[in-house]
Amino acid sequence: MKNLTSILFSTILMMAASTHAAMEHNHNHSAHQMEHKSEMKMPEGMHMHNMDIDGHKVTFHIMDQKAFRTYMDNMGHKTHKMKAGMTHYIMIDIVDKNGKKIKRAKVKIKTIDPAGKASEKIGFPMMGSFGAEFDMTVKGKYQVMTLFKVKDHKHHGGFRHEMK
């Protein structure tokens, strides 16, 4: 049963990765607003948020430790572990206006917990995505934001994510 669950989880991750680049949104909001565009329920321990930021399709994947472990195992990184004290991994995929995945960018990811404590990290590039580990143990609504620079142009946006 565990093997079937791993295969299902891996399949859903691959489908999400391949389809989010093609997703179309008819929203034309300023990327500078903290605006939740859409949320898609993923396997247990993983949430996905899709946004349009200045014409870029941006997908945020928020994974708890278990979902992160499964993801890393399925990607062949069985020895990579989350740092002590970190509870979640935030991964960002960026697709440009022409549908091409951005693999080279400077990416910052920031969270602000319900109590107002901020944590900012550089998004580490890995397999065409950018990610960082965060401590998200406080229950309530977080602000999750990104600032990314592609070809000397800065773009930023974010959303709210509730930790239950």
pLDDT tens for residues 40-77?
Answer: 445 688 999 999 999 999 999 999 999 999 988 888 88
11 in helix, strand or coil? helix
H or E stretch at 41: strand 38-41
| CA separation for the pair 58, 101 (Å, rounded) | 10
Kindly list the distances between the CA atom of residue 27 and the CA atoms of 12, 111, 119, 155, in Å, as whole numbers in the listed order: 25, 24, 29, 17
The answer, as to whether pTM is greater than 0.85, is no
Q: Confirm if 62 and 88 have CB atoms less than 8 A apart.
A: yes
pLDDT in tens, 78-118: 888 899 999 999 999 999 999 999 999 999 999 999 999 99
Kindly list the distances between the CA atom of residue 15 and the CA atoms of 7, 19, 22, 130, in Å, as whole numbers in the listed order: 12, 6, 11, 18
**Domains assigned to the chain:** 2-163 (2.60.40)
Instruction: Name which residue leads in pLDDT, 22 or 123.
Output: 123
Q: How long a stretch of residues is the chain?
A: 164
Kindly list the distances between the CA atom of residue 146 and the CA atoms of 16, 30, 58, 117, in Å, as whole numbers in the listed order: 20, 14, 10, 16
* Sheet with 124-126, edge to edge strand ranges: 38-41, 46-53, 56-64, 88-95, 129-134, 124-126
